[in-house]
Structure 1
Amino acid sequence: MTEVFKTVDELSDGYWKLIDVRFSLQDPKAGKTAYENGHIAGAVHWDLEKDLSDMDSKNGRHPMPSRENLTELFRRSGLMLDDRILIYDNGGEPFAARAWWLLRYGGFRQVYILKEGYKGLVRAGYPLQTEAAAPERSEVKPDWQGQLYASREDVRKVVEGSGEGILLDARAAERYAGKHEPLDPVAGHIPGARNFDWSRLVSGGQFNTGEEIVRAIREVVASDEPVTVYCGSGVTAAPLNAMLAHIGQENLRLYVGSYSDWVSDPDAPVETGE
């Protein structure tokens, strides 16, 4: 079992590296503006589209950044592999989980998502600042965990039966079934995928890790099944991936390109219905 989520009450004394990843899919500038208006003292800002995605890539709507770009991001943020790293968004959002996954992919060993998000730290009295944090640059060498990443070809092997495990679609049930598709050119899901809407993980503006959520997930995925999680663009799959890791799923991958990458291939098969 990998501890993924922390509450404010669980933050023990000692030094944490802080990362602010507040963002809005409706207004991509909103996260940076919020950071400039006030953030937890010492927190660096990572932007979903500028830092946590390669928007020049054609592999989906929020494609995987290159290892070179991730290394530069880690270094300019002053990170080392053994640092205790706490990531926050506004709570109950997918952005901290996206950063968490990329850090785990880079081999960072103590990375956590704050359940209550930014407001929880403010309520707890953590000091704020408006000037951008300027950490001392590191020369960290990531310890890449390639087994956490699934490419389109890896997913194709699962679909064809030559790859192990199951696919888990984190989108809403209507999009999974192909009844409603607001973003991608083809409605439906990757053949054989099961469905668990990531938003079911959120209660009261934060992630719920209680027994009822564990039971709900276990009705869809067995604890010993290898799982590859995807969504529309690889963002909302990240919190479902994080929750699975938190409850002990060991053989776990994220298809970062997700459905938007899958249907960019005109020959890729798609299923509809439940």
Structure 2
Amino acid sequence: MSEVFKSIKDVDIHDVKWIDARFSLQESEAGRKKYKEGHIKGALYWHLDDDLSDMTKKAGRHPLPDQETLTTLFRKSGLELDDRILVYDDGGSPFAARAWWILQYGGFKNSFILKEGFGELASMGVPVSKEVSAPEQSVVVPVWDETIVAPRKFVEKTVEGETGNVLLDARSAERYRGEVEPIDPIAGRIPGALNFDWEQLKKDGSFNLDDDVGKQLSQVVKRDDEVIVYCGSGVTAAPLFAMLKQNGYEQVKLYVGSYSDWISRETIEVEKG
């Protein structure tokens, strides 16, 4: 079982690097504004649209940046592969998980998602600052982990029954069934997908690290299944990916383009109901 989520109570905060991933899908500059008003001392700010996505691509609503762009991000952030990295957002949000997943993809395997959000961390006495961090640039060479990425062609083969993988949709049951679709132009799901609403991963606004989440997950997908998680744009699927790893699922991939990329294909196949 991999430890992905950590509570600050169980962490020695000396000799760690911090990443602030606060964001709002409704107001894209809200997280950066919060960072400027105060952040964990030494934390860098990673913006969902500017740093963790390539919004110029046409591969869903939050496409994955290319490796050259991510390498630049890691280097200007002063990261080394063996750094111990703690990522936080406002707590119970998907943005720290997105940043963490990108770190995992780049080979930064000693990185973790903090269960507590910024407000709780500050109230617990973790040092806070308004000073914008300016680390010395590194020359790190990422070790890309392609095993956690599901490109669209792989998803297409999965739908055709060629890979043996299980698709797991992290959206709400209503969106999964195609009853409502507030964002994408076509309602429905990727054919054959199962459903586990990422909101079920939380309890009282924080990610629930109790055993009952693992039990709930195992009722939908088995621990030895090869799982591909997706959502609408690849963002809320990241905490589902993280929680599967936390609960002992070893073979998990993320379809970053997710449903918004799937329905951009020339031949659109969706299921409803």
2:28 is matched with: 28
**1:201 counterpart = 2:201:** yes
1:225 is matched with: 225
- Count matched residues: 273
What's the TM-score, normalizing by structure 2?
A: 0.99
| Residues 8, 120 of structure 1: 8 Å contact kept | no
Gaps of 5+ in 1: none
Question: Following the alignment from structure 1 to structure 2, what is the Cα–Cα distance between the partners of residues 60 and 272?
Answer: 20
Question: Following the alignment from structure 1 to structure 2, what is the Cα–Cα distance between the partners of residues 230 and 207?
Answer: 18
**1:120 counterpart = 2:141:** no
1:58 is matched with: 58
TM-aligned CA deviation for residue 180 of structure 1: 0.1
1:170-249 matched pairs, under 5 angstroms? 170-249=170-249
| Residues 57, 63 of structure 1: 8 Å contact kept | yes
**1:156 counterpart = 2:156:** yes
Give the residue type in structure 2 aligned to 1:28. Answer: S
Question: Following the alignment from structure 1 to structure 2, what is the Cα–Cα distance between the partners of residues 261 and 78?
Answer: 32
SS at match of 1:102: helix
Give the residue type in structure 2 aligned to 1:103. Answer: L
Question: Following the alignment from structure 1 to structure 2, what is the Cα–Cα distance between the partners of residues 69 and 197?
Answer: 31
TM-aligned CA deviation for residue 93 of structure 1: 0.3
Question: Following the alignment from structure 2 to structure 1, what is the Cα–Cα distance between the partners of residues 8 and 160?
Answer: 44
Gaps of 5+ in 2: none
Question: Following the alignment from structure 1 to structure 2, what is the Cα–Cα distance between the partners of residues 249 and 121?
Answer: 29
Give the residue type in structure 1 aligned to 2:16. Answer: W
Question: Following the alignment from structure 2 to structure 1, what is the Cα–Cα distance between the partners of residues 97 and 190?
Answer: 23
1:101 is matched with: 101
1:166 is matched with: 166
| Residues 149, 256 of structure 1: 8 Å contact kept | yes
TM-aligned CA deviation for residue 266 of structure 1: 3.4
TM-aligned CA deviation for residue 209 of structure 1: 1.5
**1:261 counterpart = 2:234:** no
Sequence identity (%): 55
Question: Following the alignment from structure 1 to structure 2, what is the Cα–Cα distance between the partners of residues 162 and 239?
Answer: 27
Structure-2 change in CA distance of 1:10 and 1:210 (3 Å): same
Q: Once the two structures are superposed, what CA deviation does each residue of 1:57-84 show, in whole Å capped at 9, x if it has no partner?
A: 0000000111011001000111001100
Q: Once the two structures are superposed, what CA deviation does each residue of 1:142-175 show, in whole Å capped at 9, x if it has no partner?
A: 0000111011101000000111210000000000
Question: Following the alignment from structure 1 to structure 2, what is the Cα–Cα distance between the partners of residues 74 and 13?
Answer: 21
TM-aligned CA deviation for residue 249 of structure 1: 0.5
Question: Following the alignment from structure 2 to structure 1, what is the Cα–Cα distance between the partners of residues 8 and 120?
Answer: 7
| Structure 1, 126-135 or 63-72: larger mean CA deviation | 126-135
Question: Following the alignment from structure 1 to structure 2, what is the Cα–Cα distance between the partners of residues 89 and 222?
Answer: 30
